[in-house]
Amino acid sequence: MRVFDFNSAIVRLPGNSVVEGLRAKPGPSPDYGRLRSEHAAYIDALRHAGLEVTVLEALEQFPDSVFVEDPALVFSEAAVLLRPGAASRLRETEALAAPLAARFQKVLRVSGGCVDGGDVLVTPKCAFIGLSARTNAAGAAELQSLLASIGIASQVVNTPRGTLHLKSDCSLADEETLLATEELANSGLFDAFSIITVPRDERAAANAVRVNDVVLVNADCPRTAESLMDHGLRVSLLPVTEIGRIDAGLSCMSLRWFDRGITSAGERMV
């Protein structure tokens, strides 16, 4: 099974408060109605790719809670509750604890430091954990220990200066190929992979999502989409203009995993 083979996902609806979400740079607030439409299209794309999607209710008290990948990681073997690096997001972890406990026999927890799921890139070789403004050495070290306990090797790396998350600058296109910004492509961190470098004016495209046999790509990045198709990959273009106004992209809006308790017919084994 490939690391991007999934049959299950969890997403959370954006609340009205999402327009107050965190932003590293100044800019206009997102339009709530258009953002909801973008999020709905994202859910449709996951379902079209073959995933059973659980949709959690919005949490108005947590503007950034639509981005469920930062407070947790999920694998077939277990879920891992993280400690987000932004203080306003710390309590989002507790809001995911019960939904994850209902779906995973084993739920692990990072108890020290800070680590965001947006800094964790899972590849066939290992899980790369990027140190950033949202993930520190203590959190990364504890996460490494937890991942080792479920048989997942990991490596801690430094993200390029000025990058919010590791996956802001890269994503997995196939088992041997990364999509990456020029800075990350030239960093030497991923010399073991082939790299498709995104154009400078399409940096946001580096945060793509491989789901089974399709790559979800920012619709505002047509040249990157063309490069992926030239590489022999199937691409689904998704609008994320409003979502991108609040330090976010495609990967952070879902938790994706392969649930071995679901049959090929979509039925749960008991």
Write out the catalytic residue numbers.
165, 252
Rounded distance, CA 79 to CA 100, Å? 7
> What are the C-alpha distances in Å from 53 to residues 60, 115, 196?
21, 25, 29
Q: Label the pairing between strands 235-238 and 214-218.
A: parallel
For 200-266, the DSSP string reads: GGGGGGGS-EEETTEEEEETT-HHHHHHHHHTT--EEEE--TTGGGGS--SGGG-EEE--TTB-TTS
Q: How many helices, marked H, and strands, marked E, lie in the chain?
A: 5, 15
Rounded distance, CA 12 to CA 63, Å? 11
